[in-house]
Homo-oligomer: A and B are copies of this chain.
């Protein structure tokens, strides 16, 4: 039987420590093909490049990968190019990350890491997005290694349900500090933006987006609750955005 084919990508770019560590953790699970952005793509959501050219560059292979390419596009572009232009068969798994920073709760909507995993999911490929709740470039990914291997192993062994992508977030903690893995729902939250307004040398106003995360949900079944207790959160995530519960109410509008 052929070894599992694992497509690895991220949104922080092909040189990001989170990605390089992930490739090392995946050694032994299968053949690893890396197609990752050539520059950071944080906050790119599910952007795709429809009005511009895309470049692919074959890169030196490192950390046990079979093949590596960098791509000028978004994380979703990386997955599309990998599937259509680079791989001769459908991958058995797509793993995106490890993101430098949380993609829990509402962050999933803005996340390039998760958009790559969701893109794979749309194509019927089992997919996992991994994020460490530490934005530092020098973040310590080591404590998460055992849990990541466990999640990847279970995903290959049991099969991720059809149409579902795993959104995995790992708290910043020592390995001993990690309490385990919890299946959760996405917490209700938003960002309370503050725009930092400045003036250019020529007198033109401009803004930098900053903000504070605002948790609106105290449920003990949420990813934010699990992370606050030092659990790794796993949220099954879907790309069918239909709010089924609202269909009946809208039908009563009587168009």
Q: Min CB distance, A139 to chain B, in Å?
A: 18
Provide the bound-state CA to CA distance between A216 and B21, in Å.
Answer: 37
Provide the bound-state CA to CA distance between A250 and B166, in Å.
Answer: 10
Chain B contacts of A150 at CB under 8 A? 255
- Find the B residue at minimum CB distance from A108: B241
Chain B contacts of A81 at CB under 8 A? 195, 207
Q: Min CB distance, A105 to chain B, in Å?
A: 10
Q: Tell me if A197 and B236 are in contact (CB < 8 A).
A: no
**A133 an interface residue at 8 Å Cβ cutoff?**
no
**A173 an interface residue at 8 Å Cβ cutoff?**
no
Interface centre among A118, A167, A241, A245 (most CB of B within 10 A): A241
Q: Tell me if B46 and A109 are in contact (CB < 8 A).
A: yes
Which among B45, B244, B251 is the interface contact of A115 at CB below 8 angstroms? B45
Q: Min CB distance, A178 to chain B, in Å?
A: 12
Copies of this chain, how many? 2
In the complex with contacts A47-B45, A193-B84, A54-B208 CB distance below 8 A: yes
Provide the bound-state CA to CA distance between A238 and B237, in Å.
Answer: 12
Chain B contacts of A166 at CB under 8 A? 250
Q: Tell me if B243 and A164 are in contact (CB < 8 A).
A: yes
Q: Min CB distance, A80 to chain B, in Å?
A: 5
Q: Min CB distance, A152 to chain B, in Å?
A: 12
- Find the B residue at minimum CB distance from A44: B47
**A113 an interface residue at 8 Å Cβ cutoff?**
no
> Footprint of B on A, CB under 8 Å?
40, 42-51, 53-56, 76-77, 80-81, 83-85, 106, 108-110, 115, 118, 122-123, 150-151, 154, 158, 161, 163-164, 166-167, 180-183, 185-186, 188, 190, 193-195, 197, 204-209, 234-247, 249-251, 253, 255
